[in-house]
Structures are given as C-alpha cells and as structure tokens.
Structure 1
C-alpha cells in the first residue's frame, strides 16, 4: 500500500482534475490501488463530470466568503469549522429569530452538520450556490442578511424552498451518531416549521399541527426516524388539501404512526374507533 503522503497527493490530484469531493476521490482511488489514471477513468465512466475551472469572480467570492467565515471562527475552533458560539453569533447578525423557522434557512444554505456548527466548505459552497441561483454575490453579512430576509418571506409559499429547509432540519438537529431524533426535539422543530414564517399546518376547519402535537404527546413514545420525518411532510401537504383524509387507506404505504394518527383523528371527529393498542416500544 502506498505511503500516507502518496495517498494524500493522489487524492488532492484527483480532486483537482475531476472536481470530486475528498470522500469520493479517496474511495475511488482505493478501489483502483491509488492509480490516478484508472481512478479518474472510473470516476468519469460512472457519471462523474470533469472539473470546471473557477472564474476570477468565483475565486474572489470564495476568498471573501472564507474571510467572512473566519470572523465567526473561535480561537478554540478547528481550522475549518465554527462551533456553537460562532454559529449563534452569525445567526444573530443575520437577524433571524432563533425560535422560528427563519433560523433554519441559513443552516440549510450552508449545509450545517449540526444546529450549532458550520464548516468552511459548506459555508463557502452554499453561499456561492445561493448567489449563482440569484445572479449575485452573497459574500458579505449585509447581502446575506437581505437574502435570508427575502427567503423568509418566501418560506410559506415556496414549496421547494420549504422542502429543502424541512429535510435538512432533520439532518442538522439530530446527534451525528444517531439515526433518529428524540420525540421532544422533533416536536420543537415541527412547531417551528409548521408555524409562521414557515408553512402553517391548517386547513379550512382543522388545526392539524395542534392535533399532531397532541397525538404524539399522548400516544407516541418512540423516537422520530428519517422516514417518519419525511412522511410527515407528505401527510402535511395532503391533509392541507383534503382534510377528510380520503387519500389515506389501510393498504397505503404510510408509516404506522400516520395510520394511528388518522384513526385517532377520526375518533375525535366521531368517525372511527381509536387506536388503543399502539406500539410503544
């Protein structure tokens, strides 16, 4: 096996040639005994794309964003990460409300690995992408603050934006070593996401969020895994359009917690039997 120095050099070369991430470059090189040509050929054959040279504007933006990142990196933080204090200071400077969904928007943009953590790579690439999508550069706190304010206004009506923020919230709000969220944490984030300035979970005559929180507090003792989190979003969308829940059936692919919730709601409305024997292990 090649020396660690040789491996690092090969990974760096492949990243520069192909634009692959460090993780992907390391994996492909390992499969091909660290032979650079073979690894690059395999990467392209599997659908990878050649790296596009950065433009001067991109280089300048990258440097500006990296410098802005440094402003919030504490003296005890690792070189390419910002911990809780710096992240909270950053969110405060963006003028988001830490108690509502506006605070989750920048965390999705920078792909924060945790609520109180940001990485340099995620910060730089995330804001470059947001800038490219909006035809501008977002490399100062003033520009980012204005952008977040505009996204916050869109959050209640832009389905794609809300879905991105919703799904990333699960990723960054759980412990890295865990695959699920404690119920009490999930309840907090659902209340943030399904209330203003997020998408309000109500229909003509039903306050779905209140029912969902009441049901889970009374009947559910498990953690919340990724499937339950994502399927709740699907149920949210359908129930806002059809509060009779005619879209639901026992033969459907909904998780058991949704099945039990539907039965529970119908019982409260006087239209079905309650689910008295739910799984609680």
Structure 2
C-alpha cells in the first residue's frame, strides 16, 4: 500500500508539477474530440468548423438562431464570423469555463442568456463581439443593413431592450438611420451606440448630452432628431 501511494505521488508530480500534463489537459482533450464531432472532414479545414457544423452545434446548445441567445456562445468561442468556429477559440473558450461536454455547455449558455439583460458586463462583451462576427474579415465596418439587423437582435429579449417608459429608442434609432444615414457602421460607431443606449436607459431626458460632448456626429444628429420627435424641443421653447 505504501509503495502504491508513493507511485501515485510520483505520477502527480510528473503530470502536474513537472511540466507534463496541465490540470486542464483532460478538458482540452475532450474539447478537441467534441470539436471533431461537428467538423466536416471533407469540407472543413483541420482547425475550422463551417456553417453546417456550427448551426448543428448551436442547435445542440439549445440556442435560438433568431434572437440574441445565439450571440452568447459566439462570444465564448470567439467566433471569427457568423457561422464559423476555430479550434483554438472553441477549446480555449470552454477550457477557461471548465465545460467540456455538451450538457455542461448547454447549462452554462442557458445561465448566461438569462443574465444577458441584467448583467451589463456580459451584455457589453457579447455586444462588442457581434461586431467582429458581423463584418467581413477583410472589412473594417459593417453595412447599415447588417448593423440594424443585429441591433434589433441585441436590443430585444433575451438581450437588453432599448426602451424607456415613454419611448422605444431602438425603433427611433432605426427610423433615424434609415432616413439620414447612408454610410456603413464602423467599430467606433458600433461601440458608441452601446454606450449611448446605456446612458439613455438611465436618463431618457437626454440631459447627459451637450454640444460639447465627445459623441460621434451621428449621435449628435440623432439627439436633435429624437428631441424633435418626442416634443422636447417644443416643450423647451414653451418653458423659455
């Protein structure tokens, strides 16, 4: 018995303390195998899963491809674009969480989706990663049409609705852009829209905004548009 215990101690030192297998090595091996289950050997690269495999994987996780829940696993595995996954992103993402099986991953994703509208750090991470997946790899911006599609996805349940008691801000934002914006949406505009939306949710009177603020010009124009639509300009003139 003493000899057996000594042997086990030497194994632990070899694998975990001596530069051999790391404690999460077993998790990574399992994740590599799981990745292979969804990779099309004939059509996918050795370290990539394309659309069919990715959609099958999302279906196994139980996420709805028509709402923001699909964006949660995309952020976890750092998907490079919509409908694709890399081996590194998949293995590293789930290793950090410690979920090496579909059952564990499905449970974790479901928990994250439930928190998506209340945990702003989580929502911000998911929101920002969507920009990466929504644009073409060779491009620095996304089309207005695609941006609106994803805003409508993210700013609705189970994401964080962009609306206050008196105003549906998402609807007003989309209306404004369709009427006034002809350019694509770059990363700064995408991120600043998130920041602005959170400010609006805290103060629908827009008192936080001023002409001297560092918001992009599109936000400045939207504020003027929103105030006019909501009657704030007329009310201000009457007060004066």
> Please, what TM-score do these two structures have when normalized by structure 2?
0.87
Q: How many angstroms does 1:219 deviate by?
A: 1.3
Aligned partner of 2:6 in structure 1 is none
**Is residue 27 of structure 2 the alignment partner of residue 61 of structure 1?**
yes
Q: How many angstroms does 1:55 deviate by?
A: 5.3
Structure 2 residue aligned with 1:254, among 215, 234, 237?
A: 215
**Equivalent residues in 2 for 1:115-134, closer than 5 Å:** 115-131=82-98
- Matched residue count: 216
Structure 1 residue aligned with 2:36, among 70, 88, 92?
A: 70
Instruction: Find the aligned partners of 2:89 and 2:19 in 1 and give their Cα distance.
Output: 19
Structure 2 residue aligned with 1:89, among 56, 63, 66?
A: 56
Aligned partner of 1:104 in structure 2 is 71
**Equivalent residues in 2 for 1:260-275, closer than 5 Å:** 260-272=221-233
Q: Deviations over 1:124-173 (max 9, x none)?
A: 00001122xxxxxx111111111111110010101110000000000111
Structure 1 residue aligned with 2:189, among 222, 228, 233?
A: 228
Instruction: Find the aligned partners of 1:71 and 1:170 in 2 and give their Cα distance.
Output: 28
Instruction: Find the aligned partners of 2:73 and 2:115 in 1 and give their Cα distance.
Output: 14
Instruction: Find the aligned partners of 2:161 and 2:19 in 1 and give their Cα distance.
Output: 43
- Structure with more relative contact order (C-alpha pairs < 8 Å, separation 6 or more): 2
Change (3 A) 1:221 1:150: same
Q: Give the gaps of 5 or more residues in structure 2.
A: 1-17, 235-240
Aligned partner of 1:160 in structure 2 is 121
Q: Deviations over 1:208-245 (max 9, x none)?
A: 11111111111111100000000000001000010010
Instruction: Find the aligned partners of 1:148 and 1:245 in 2 and give their Cα distance.
Output: 35
Change (3 A) 1:147 1:205: same
| RMSD (Å), alpha carbons | 1.5
Instruction: Find the aligned partners of 1:168 and 1:186 in 2 and give their Cα distance.
Output: 13
Instruction: Find the aligned partners of 1:243 and 1:56 in 2 and give their Cα distance.
Output: 51
SS in 2 for 1:272: helix
Instruction: Find the aligned partners of 1:91 and 1:237 in 2 and give their Cα distance.
Output: 29
Aligned partner of 1:193 in structure 2 is 154
> Please, what TM-score do these two structures have when normalized by structure 1?
0.74
Instruction: Find the aligned partners of 2:40 and 2:123 in 1 and give their Cα distance.
Output: 31
Instruction: Find the aligned partners of 2:26 and 2:219 in 1 and give their Cα distance.
Output: 49
Instruction: Find the aligned partners of 1:70 and 1:54 in 2 and give their Cα distance.
Output: 24
Structure 2 residue aligned with 1:237, among 183, 198, 208?
A: 198
Instruction: List 4+ stretches of structure 1 deviating above 6 A.
Output: none
